[in-house]
Structure 1
Amino acid sequence: MNSTHSTQPVLVFIHGFLDGADAWDDVVSELGARASNALCVDLPGMGARASEPGPYSLERFADDVATQVRALSGPRRPVVLVGHSMGAQIAELVAARLGEQVRGLVLLTPVPLRGAGLPPDVIRAFHAAGGNPAAQRELRRSLAANLDDAQLERLGQLGDRVAPAAVGTFADLWNEGHPEGPEPARYRGPVLIMRGEGDAFINADLIASGVTPRFASPEVVSIERAGHWPHVEQAVAVVHALQSFLANVESTSVTPQGWTRAFEQKSEDTFSDAFAPEVVLEASVLARPVAGIERVKAIMTTASKIYEALAFTHEARKDSRDYLEWEVLAFGGERMRGVTVLTKNPAGKIVHIAIHHRPLGGALKFSAELARRLNGQIDASFFYSGA
């Protein structure tokens, strides 16, 4: 089989608490041509957008970034999201919004999506940095391991722009987190987690308990001689880890096509566009094959709505066949995996679909749920009822 490659993903950098797009300058410079089209966002109320008023929320930030990503040139241009600290929380929420457009998620010294949970006496120190440049710089110095004076001042000047009243609001946002934080992540694609070895705030225990368990198989990298700002303290090491991750992502990423886009949009019309009239569906969740575009698109559209999260993880192609590996969540977070084989005619329309779910228990439950939702539309004999 010959592996296929999608358009090289655009890198999207999302800064953290009191920072701005300029915090990524060293990383972007080190990446050179690979970051020539990178999007370094300024969040509302920070960076170049410090004058934008509230109300502020993680949801607002995620919507803002998602809107900027959707405006990138090209139809549904693939992206890799890179978020630092609070920006890691936002990056994860953006990934859930953009679906298969996101080919990789990089979390740099990430605050868990559930929040840091600092007690009131500790979070007060972050509140106190508002309107107090000296306190802010001291706070940064205490959380860093290798910031020189020039780097500290560059970050400090970013924080100086933020309205004093907004500083406490932003601190509360990352400290209290998001309601989805205790649940498994909705994003199911490749994940790289980087932490600074000298970061006393986002330490190894916090990442092990609050971040890594939420993802299927994240890669975790420690950056030596770095604290909470590895992208400033050790930009070369961060870029090295990022490039290695990108090489993996770009060698296994799934090319957008009618099939994967139809699952994202959960639309009968989009499935229709991908199918030939005589399409046949065989699947481990079906008792026998289903033929004809109307019945097949009804089943596939219904199936797409049962999935709570879906990620296509690998793709290969040989002659007229596409092979797709995927992972899904359904039934309140139950994980299933599988392989789909698509056979296309010379016009590029799908004429045969073979879908293999695992494990068996999940497949049987899925079949029964399809039967329930399609009652009166598709004959019950196509499904297993004893799940």
Structure 2
Amino acid sequence: MALFSQLVGDGRPDVVFLHGLFGRGKNWSGIARSLAEHGLASVLFDLPDHGRSHWTETFDYERMADEVADELRLRMGTAASVSLVGHSMGGKVAMLLALRHPELVRRLVVVDIAPDISDQLRTSVPLVKAMRELDLDSLTSRGEAERRLAVDVDDPAVRQFLLQNLKRTRTAENRNGWQWELNLDLLGDHLDDVAAWPNVGEVSYAGPVLWVGGADSLYIRPEHYQPMRRLFPQVQLVWIPGAGHWVHADAPAELTATLLPFLAD
């Protein structure tokens, strides 16, 4: 089943964006539009169990990487070769895609994630709980949903990030129905799998890699430097000042300025 995607810019896509947990491709639309102004067209994918893409019964990073690879070959042919940008969960998918299908990846950007267990994902547990406890049957508006979520989710930006997945489902019987447009049960039950990193063996990716960290985030730590260099010998690490884990939301202009010379090379 095809993954949902959006094209930003004109012509053959140069860049592919993969979002993080509870996200969707359009989270990268602002940066993609900035790249388009410099002649770089982008594809924004909704990964499985997110956005408008299909749902699965298991969470499997390698399967996700292979599925994105299949999509690239289907859409772009045997000569497919793109710059791949992945954030958080999408960064792990991107790393695996580069390791498993290096011929598809001209260069790789990994945003605020490492090839290791991501212990910080435990902070998603209360977010899953808040979404699960939101009574969708009695909900009358998106504003009411935000007010209810505010009881358990203090940060307005995080609430808006979660609520992008809330979809109104009008039917003849119920014109005020709502549903989560992500596989909440699967993702919520498998946060340990989302946090994990598979055993990839002795493989490595020889192409250029930009590793971008939020200076205020703890997802990239010194103990990650050696395994990252083993898997990606040409890696260069860049920190974005003032940015947390959601680098593209916290510092979009600074991240774009970092990406442009690397992607346009």
| Aligned residue runs from structure 1 range 98-247, under 5 A | 98-110=101-113, 112-117=114-119, 124-125=125-126, 127-132=128-133, 134=149, 138=153, 141=155, 149=156, 152-160=158-166, 161-180=181-200, 183=201, 185-200=203-218, 202-205=219-222, 207-208=224-225, 211-247=228-264
The one-character-per-residue Cα deviations of 1:66-114 (angstroms, maximum 9, x if unpaired) are 111112335413201101001111001111232223110100011x333
3-state SS, counterpart of residue 76 of structure 2: coil
Match of 1:76 in 2: 79
Measured in 1, the distance between the counterparts of 2:38 and 2:90 equals 21
Do the aligned residues in 2 keep the contact of 1:13 with 1:82 (CA within 8 Å)?
yes
The one-character-per-residue Cα deviations of 1:99-157 (angstroms, maximum 9, x if unpaired) are 223110100011x33322569x7674465355257389838x4xxxxxxx4x5454222
Do the aligned residues in 2 keep the contact of 1:56 with 1:169 (CA within 8 Å)?
no
3-state SS, counterpart of residue 193 of structure 2: helix
Do the aligned residues in 2 keep the contact of 1:15 with 1:85 (CA within 8 Å)?
yes
Measured in 2, the distance between the counterparts of 1:237 and 1:93 equals 26
Match of 2:137 in 1: none
Shift of 1:189: 0.9
Measured in 2, the distance between the counterparts of 1:123 and 1:230 equals 17
Asked which structure has the greater CA Rg, the reply is 1
Do the aligned residues in 2 keep the contact of 1:43 with 1:61 (CA within 8 Å)?
yes
Structure 1 or 2: more strand by fraction: 1
Measured in 1, the distance between the counterparts of 2:88 and 2:188 equals 16
Do the aligned residues in 1 keep the contact of 2:84 with 2:109 (CA within 8 Å)?
yes
Amino acid at match of 2:57: G
| Aligned residue runs from structure 1 range 1-387, under 5 A | 10-34=14-38, 37-49=41-53, 52-73=55-76, 75-110=78-113, 112-117=114-119, 124-125=125-126, 127-132=128-133, 134=149, 138=153, 141=155, 149=156, 152-160=158-166, 161-180=181-200, 183=201, 185-200=203-218, 202-205=219-222, 207-208=224-225, 211-248=228-265
Which structure has more relative contact order (CA 8 Å, sep 6+)? It is 2
Shift of 1:21: 0.5
Provide closer, same or farther for how the CA distance between residues 234 and 136 of structure 1 changes in structure 2, counting only shifts above 3 A: farther
Do the aligned residues in 1 keep the contact of 2:59 with 2:194 (CA within 8 Å)?
no
Shift of 1:10: 1.7
Provide closer, same or farther for how the CA distance between residues 129 and 58 of structure 1 changes in structure 2, counting only shifts above 3 A: farther
CA RMSD of aligned residues (A): 3.1
3-state SS, counterpart of residue 16 of structure 2: strand
Do the aligned residues in 2 keep the contact of 1:9 with 1:77 (CA within 8 Å)?
no
Measured in 2, the distance between the counterparts of 1:136 and 1:35 equals 44
Number of residues paired by the alignment? 227
Measured in 2, the distance between the counterparts of 1:30 and 1:136 equals 36
Amino acid at match of 1:103: R
Measured in 2, the distance between the counterparts of 1:177 and 1:127 equals 21
